[in-house]
Structure 1
Amino acid sequence: MREQYRIELRRLSRDLTEIARLVHRAILDARTALESADVHLAQQVISEDARIDRLQNTLDEQAVRLLALQAPVATDLRAVVASLRMSASLERMGDLARHIAQLTRLRYPEHVLPDCVQELFARMADAAVEVAEETVMLLDSRDLVHADRVDAVNTRMNELHASVFRAIAAPSWTATPATTTDVTLASRYLERFTDHGVSVADKTRYLVTGEWTAHGGPETGRS
């Protein structure tokens, strides 16, 4: 009985890492679709999000079952509770990648972003992809070096996000209201993507150390 319990705990960890890998693929493809106005790739990101949702639901059901039937304590309890909370953040990251793909589909065959901000958004997309990569490695290894890297990239993303708003507010900005809205939304989606990565990093720190320290992810009051 206890061996089955250990197997189910390990499965939670594996499934969490698998969701992170799917999120990494989603943001990679969403970035490519955004930059190239590839509506077929955008549609693939949108369709594949359902797979992330299904895996999250399966993981959450398994975690609740463990809580109800096994009554885990100490480190095991932290693992189950942290898995529940991290799966929600990862699912939201998948949603945000889907939102970016939906913008691409909405504006096809035109590009979402005007030329004047494409370089800025390329850096933001790079940051989002880096957070996704570090999140996969963090969940796979539980090495908190990766959590620190997520925090550092998120700081860079926040600076880039602020730069977008400065660009929009500049007197030289002449884009249409629709384009301005698209730019604002795209920036917000990328910024929130890395914030949820910070949330996963925080939960992993809690899982590894048993100490809770929030670093400004979505649970500080924004969703």
Structure 2
Amino acid sequence: MREAYQSDLRHLVDDLVNMASMVESALSDATDALLDGDLALAERVVAADPHIDERQLDLDAKSVELLARQSPVATDLRLLVASLRMSSSLERMGDLCAHVALVARRSHPELAVPEQHREQIRRMSDLALAALRDAAQVISDRDLALAAQVEKNDDELDELQQEIAREIGKGEGYTNTQIVDLTLLIRFYERLGDHAVSLVRRVGFLVTGDAVDTLGQATDVTEF
């Protein structure tokens, strides 16, 4: 029985990592659809989002069943509690990827991102992808040094959001639609980074037992 229980816990971690991989694919495809004006790819990202939602429901059901059946304590209890929060963050990240794809779809056949901002948006996407990959590794390996790096790297995403916001805030050379779309897009990518930070902080709670800093930056992300 004990071996089966430990196997269930390991599978739970594997499920979280797999869910992160699904979100990673969605993010990569959504950005490609956005910058290349690929309508078919955007549609695939939107259509795939319910599968990420289903994965969250399945993972949460497993966690709740283990909580009820095994009455875990200490690290095992923290793992199950953390998994419920991490699956929620990953589901929201999937939603954000779908939002990016919806901007691409709405703008078609035009490109939503003006030429002068394409490199910045690509960089925001690359940073969010790196944060997600690193967060998945942190979940798998419980690597707190890498977790700290994810938090540190999130600063560049925030700076890029602020940089683009300042530029479009001047309102010169943009249509109203471009201003709205860019404002949304930089918010989506910035929130993706915040969710990655939330993931690694949950792992910190799992490993150390220290309470998560709910007053700190981007710990419990409830919008978008």
Kindly indicate whether the alpha-carbon contact (under 8 Å) linking 2:201 and 2:219 is maintained by their aligned counterparts in 1.
no
Tell me the distance in 1 between the aligned counterparts of 2:64 and 2:212: 24
Question: How far does residue 75 in structure 1 lie from its aligned partner after superposition?
Answer: 0.7
Contact 2:161/2:186 (<8 A) preserved: yes
Separation in structure 2 between the aligned mates of residue 185 and residue 68 of structure 1, nearest angstrom? 41
Q: Which residue of 1 aligns with 2:46?
A: 46
Deviates more, 1:211-220 or 1:34-43: 211-220
TM score, norm. by length of structure 2: 0.94
Deviation at 1:4, TM superposition (A): 2.0
Measure how far apart 1:145 and its partner are: 2.4
- Determine whether 1:203 maps to 2:202: yes
- Please tell me whether the aligned partners of residues 96 and 193 of structure 1 are also in contact (alpha carbons under 8 angstroms): yes
Alpha-carbon offset, residue 99 of structure 1: 0.5
Where do 1:78-117 residues align within 5 Å? Answer: 78-117=78-117
State, as a whole percentage, how many aligned pairs show the same letter. 40
The aligned amino acid for 2:189 is L
Displacement of 1:221 after TM fit? 6.5
SS at match of 2:90: helix
How has the CA–CA distance of structure 1 residues 132 and 35 changed in structure 2, closer, same or farther, with 3 Å as cutoff? Answer: same
Q: CA RMSD for the aligned pairs?
A: 1.5
Does structure 2 retain, via aligned residues, the 8 Å contact 1:134–1:150? yes
1:216 is aligned to 217
Unaligned runs of 5+ in 2: none
Residue aligning to 1:25: 25
Instruction: Output the CA distance in 2 between the equivalents of 1:219 and 1:15.
Output: 21
- List per-residue Cα deviations over 1:54-80 (Å, max 9, x = no partner): 111000001111111111111110000
* Distance in 2 (alpha carbons) for counterparts of 1:218 and 1:102: 26
Q: Secondary structure of the equivalent of 1:175?
A: coil
Q: Which runs of 5+ in 1 are unaligned?
A: none
The 5 A counterparts of 1:1-223 are 1-170=1-170, 173-214=172-213, 215-219=216-220, 222=223
Residue pair 2:30, 2:101 contacting (<8 A) in 1 also:
yes
1:174 partner letter: G
Aligned pairs, how many? 222
1:219 partner SS: coil
Query: Quick one: which amino acid aligns to residue 175 of structure 2?
Result: T
The answer (yes or no) to whether the contact 2:29–2:41 under 8 Å persists in 1 is: yes
Q: Deviations over 1:36-94 (max 9, x none)?
A: 11111111111111221111100000111111111111111000000000000011111
Misfit runs of 4+, over 4 Å = 220-223
TM-score, L = length of structure 1: 0.94
Q: CA deviation at 1:3?
A: 2.2
Aligned in 2, Cα 1:125/1:220: closer, same or farther, shift over 3 Å? Answer: closer
